[in-house]
Amino acid sequence: MLRRTKTGITTVATHSMFRILRRRYSVTSHFKLNDRYKLKCGLEIHTQLNTKNKLFSASNNKSSSHFNSIPNSQVSFFDLALPGTQPLLNYEPILFATKLALSLNSEINLNSSFDRKHYFYADQPQGYQITQHYSPFAQHGHMNLFRDIDNIEQEQKRINITQLQIEQDTGKSTYLQDEKITLIDLNRSNVPLIELVTEPDFTELQQVKAFIKKYQNLIRHLHISTGDLETGAMRVDVNVSINEYPRIELKNLPNTSSIIHAIKFEYERQIRIIETGGTIPSMETRGWDANKMETVKLRSKEGIMDYRYMPDPELPNVTLSEDIITNVRETLPILPDTLIHKLMSEPFNLSLKDAKILTIKSNNQNDLYDHESLRNYYLETFTEYKNQVGSTINCKLPTTWIIHELLGDLNKLQIPLLQCEAILTPQLFSEFLLLLHKEKISNTSGKLLLFHILETMKEVSYDKTMELNLNKLIKEFNLELTNNDVGDNELTEICQQILDNLNNDKMIQDIKSGKKPKSIKFIIGQGMRLYQGRIKPQDFERKFKELLNVK
Amino acid sequence: MLSPRSYRNAYLIAHSTVRFASSKIGPQLRSIGEVEQLFSQPDEIKTDPTIQTPKQSLPSEELVLKLLKLSGLPSKCASIPVIQQNLSKQLDLINKLHTFSPENSQDGIKLDPNHARIMPRSTHKLTYKELMEKIEYQKQNKDPELGEVEDGSWNATETTSISRNGYFVFRHGFIHDGN
């Protein structure tokens, strides 16, 4: 299509050129690292702690959980920096930081201190942020990534953590450009943050992705943060460099997808600059434009602030005794990697996939359950079941029936696990597993029974007094396996009748000739349906094969 | 993280006014009583007469403009000569303070730069039990006189001249246009 410019020149070529350039300069879908240019990334992660109160005042810390709450409704005089107010350290963030530091194998500084970082911004009413510049809370930590658990290329990758520091969050700004004003909400002001800084140890995108996911799961596992990127409870900045060229800092990356796309774009952009004889500027900060899918310059070296760090004269040092480390270490939950290995070992023998379902919060989970409550339900049920069957335990039963069947039903019926477990307790679920274990009911009957129980509890609005007698239900619906009652002759008659009613000679011939051996499953299914699972599928299969003379 | 250089940078102005002479500024004050006694004396004897520091020349206009910018203050209508005079006096005082060397204090005690705070220098080491007790106490104790209310019921924007739907309003250009 021809277009006219002010000069009257047709711009077909210009547009084509523009499209080519856009394609060249946007993130390619087939991204590949270039052997000649080593990617090097470091991360800076800000984590909002979900303490009851804010960092230096006793106002409610509801910023992350109630991010839509009324503006400036959760602020104290100190959070607004009203003259005369002074900070008073809240010690809950110290406890949370200790938990995180220990989980990240860091050395805790038993005499850390707070400093002022000065800059002027409308959502920073103090004119400075209280942070830990000179003497941070913890240093020299690390997190290990593994190929099997974290889906990285290498067998194992150690990411070193430079430091963890405690600091205040700022308020939130909403820019109204047309009116030339900014609306300021200080609910987030003075919310406790931990800033984690890694060494530039990341050499592949998958490592960055894995670290973010693992760190996010860790802070949720420790119950110190919601870890949600969407609400800003966790915010990630990335330093990207190639070979030994200066690093570029990337900010304003709202989710994992933006982070990965921004690194890809930046890597390719920096290579283009080098290959065209350009210079990578030192100390440049760039943001991510999600619409254009490209990084944009925010500020250069010239715009770097002089923060005029100084020790905060209103806050004493945080001096901790050694016993805090010992005691907090003892109260830490089993950490996710250890937990996964534990679940994959005796007596649970879970697959890696199932162990991860019970250990890692996934984006597929919804409000119906979380991995932790599911894990607790599984472990309690497993213990009850094991106590009843002893050495004859079939470890696949709890896995199949809780992780797969129960979860599927809860999703189908939209029942929260919390409501379910109040009625179908781990004790009762283990009794249900016992029925399957002793082959009192078939799998098919078990599925029917479980679904019926869940459906009923929803109908009675999760009334905890709901009667739940498994044996009574089995009798009521005639679900008990009839194999013991059905003799071989009777089973032959039943199966022959099914084959007659099938009226499908071609299928029979295909099974007999071995052309379509799997069609026998269909015939077994007919029998299961007819007898509602009261005859075991294995018995049907044996008898059908006998009648059709196939092995 | 604590390099001597970065620590010194905490004192912005000190870059150009670091110690000119080493001397002491009088005996160390050991109690609030001694501080009160010192300040009850007439001004002229507060300074140790043995301190000799060069007279501070007027800071340059460029430095004043830089400080105004760093402080977020407008420079357009500012009286630069007055600020230069005032700043010069402050620099004189800072020069005198810089003559005191923590390493060579009169008692021969080497001081920890981490102690450059108003707060107590040697704080009690918190035990685990104390930490947990403090957390529990802090969770349950708010001070409504400091605006720390459980239900967030006080109106934070009530006394502002401009607000909108509970938000504070910041007018663009307040800082940058003034410079």
Q: What pLDDT is recorded for position A283?
A: 84
- B160 occurs within a structural domain: yes
Which residues, other chains included, contact A334 with Cβ-Cβ below 8 Å and sequence gap of 6+?
A: A342
Size of the A and B interface in Cβ pairs below 8 Å: 164
Backbone angles phi, psi at A54, to 5 degrees: -75, 180
Read off the DSSP letter of residue B15.
Answer: G
Q: What pLDDT is recorded for position A366?
A: 67
> Does B5 touch chain A if contact means CB atoms closer than 8 Å?
no
- A190 occurs within a structural domain: yes
Q: What pLDDT is recorded for position A8?
A: 36
ipTM value > 0.85: no
- B111 occurs within a structural domain: no
Looking at beta carbons, which residues of chain A come within 8 Å of B157? 72
- A438 occurs within a structural domain: yes
Which domain does A59 fall in, by range?
41-240+300-311
Contact yes or no for A386/A393 (Cβ under 8 A): yes
Query: Do A450 and A399 reside in the same domain of the chain?
Result: yes
Q: What pLDDT is recorded for position A313?
A: 87
What is the residue-level pLDDT of chain A in tens, covering all 551 positions? 333 333 333 344 444 444 444 444 445 557 889 899 999 999 999 999 999 999 999 999 986 555 557 899 999 999 999 988 999 999 999 999 999 999 999 999 999 999 999 988 889 999 999 999 999 999 999 999 999 999 999 999 999 999 999 999 999 999 998 898 999 999 999 999 999 999 999 999 999 999 999 999 999 999 999 999 988 999 999 999 999 999 999 998 999 999 999 999 999 999 999 999 999 998 899 999 988 999 999 887 666 677 889 889 889 899 999 999 999 999 999 999 999 999 999 999 999 999 999 998 765 556 788 889 999 999 999 999 999 998 888 999 999 999 999 999 999 999 999 999 999 999 999 999 999 998 888 888 899 899 999 999 999 999 888 888 898 888 887 777 765 567 788 888 888 888 888 888 888 889 888 888 888 888 888 887 787 767 878 888 888 888 888 87
> Does A108 touch chain B if contact means CB atoms closer than 8 Å?
no
Could you give the angle at the alpha carbon of A17 between the alpha carbons of A14 and A22, nearest 5°? Answer: 125
- A249 occurs within a structural domain: no
Read off the DSSP letter of residue A356.
Answer: H
Contact A73 B152 (CB under 8 A): yes
Which of B1, B5, B160 would you mutate first to test chain A, the one with the most A CBs within 10 A?
Answer: B1
Peptide bond into B59 cis (omega under 30): no
Query: Do A468 and A494 reside in the same domain of the chain?
Result: no
Strands (DSSP E) contained in A317-448 are: 318-319
Which domain does B143 fall in, by range?
126-171
Looking at beta carbons, which residues of chain B come within 8 Å of A140? none
CA distances from B117 to A132, A190, B39, B95, B165 (A): 14, 21, 20, 19, 40
- How far is Cα A472 from Cα A454, in angstroms, rounded to an integer? 16
Supply B80's token pair. Answer: 């630069």
Query: Do A532 and A424 reside in the same domain of the chain?
Result: no
Which of A181, A195, A319 would you mutate first to test chain B, the one with the most B CBs within 10 A?
Answer: A181
Query: Do A187 and A226 reside in the same domain of the chain?
Result: yes
Query: Do A532 and A401 reside in the same domain of the chain?
Result: no
Backbone angles phi, psi at A414, to 5 degrees: 55, 50
Residue type, A395: C
- Do the strands A284-289 and A248-251 form a parallel or antiparallel pair, or are they unpaired? parallel
CATH of the domain at A540: 1.10.10
3-class DSSP state of A251:
strand
- B28 occurs within a structural domain: no
> Does A456 touch chain B if contact means CB atoms closer than 8 Å?
no
Contact yes or no for A449/A419 (Cβ under 8 A): no
Backbone angles phi, psi at B7, to 5 degrees: -65, -40
pTM here?
A: 0.77
Q: What pLDDT is recorded for position B19?
A: 35
Query: Do A348 and A451 reside in the same domain of the chain?
Result: yes
Looking at beta carbons, which residues of chain B come within 8 Å of A309? 6, 9-10
Q: Is the dihedral of CA A535, A541, A542, A543 positive or negative?
A: positive
Residue appearing with tokens 């401009």: B162
The 10s digit of each residue's pLDDT in B82-134 is 999 998 988 888 887 777 666 555 556 666 666 666 667 677 899 999 999 99
Q: What pLDDT is recorded for position A497?
A: 86
Contact B167 A72 (CB under 8 A): yes
Residue B177's pLDDT band, with cuts at 50, 70 and 90, is: very low
Residue ranges of A 126-155 with Cβ closer than 8 A to chain B: 127, 133-136
Can you count the helices (H) and strands (E) in chain A? Answer: 19, 16
Q: What pLDDT is recorded for position B13?
A: 36
Structural domain count, chain B: 2
Query: Do A225 and A340 reside in the same domain of the chain?
Result: no
- How far is Cα A507 from Cα B124, in angstroms, rounded to an integer? 85
Strands (DSSP E) contained in A282-371 are: 284-289, 294-299, 310-311, 318-319
Looking at beta carbons, which residues of chain B come within 8 Å of A184? 167-170
Per-state percent for chain B, helix, strand, coil, to nearest 5: 40, 5, 55
Residue A248 burial (CB < 10 Å; 0-12/13-18/19+)?
Answer: buried
Of B7, B127, B172, the CB nearest to A323: B127
Structural domain count, chain A: 3
Residue ranges of A 390-429 with Cβ closer than 8 A to chain B: none
Give the closest-approach CA distance of B177 to chain A in angstroms: 12
- A180 occurs within a structural domain: yes
Helical (H) or strand (E) element with A241: strand A234-242
Distance of CA B84 to the CA centre of its chain: 20
Which residues, other chains included, contact A35 with Cβ-Cβ below 8 Å and sequence gap of 6+?
A: none
- A258 occurs within a structural domain: no
Of A82, A118, A320, the CB nearest to B126: A320
Query: Do B95 and B132 reside in the same domain of the chain?
Result: no
Name the residue among A407, A358, A356 with its Cα closest to residue A379. Answer: A358
Query: Do A412 and A492 reside in the same domain of the chain?
Result: no
- A187 occurs within a structural domain: yes
Contact A120 B72 (CB under 8 A): yes
> Does A174 touch chain B if contact means CB atoms closer than 8 Å?
yes
The string of DSSP letters for A370-385 reads -HHHHHHHHHHHHHHH
Average pLDDT over residues B8-29: 42
Choose one of A444, A476, A508: the last residue of a domain: A476
> Does B81 touch chain A if contact means CB atoms closer than 8 Å?
no
Residue appearing with tokens 């047709």: A10
> Does B73 touch chain A if contact means CB atoms closer than 8 Å?
no
Query: Do A146 and A171 reside in the same domain of the chain?
Result: yes
- How far is Cα A415 from Cα A411, in angstroms, rounded to an integer? 7
Contact yes or no for B68/B179 (Cβ under 8 A): yes
Considering chain B, what is the average pLDDT of its residues? Answer: 72
Residue type, A418: L
Query: Do A457 and A411 reside in the same domain of the chain?
Result: yes
Q: What pLDDT is recorded for position A29?
A: 58
Choose one of B80, B99, B118: the last residue of a domain: B99
Contact yes or no for A527/A495 (Cβ under 8 A): yes
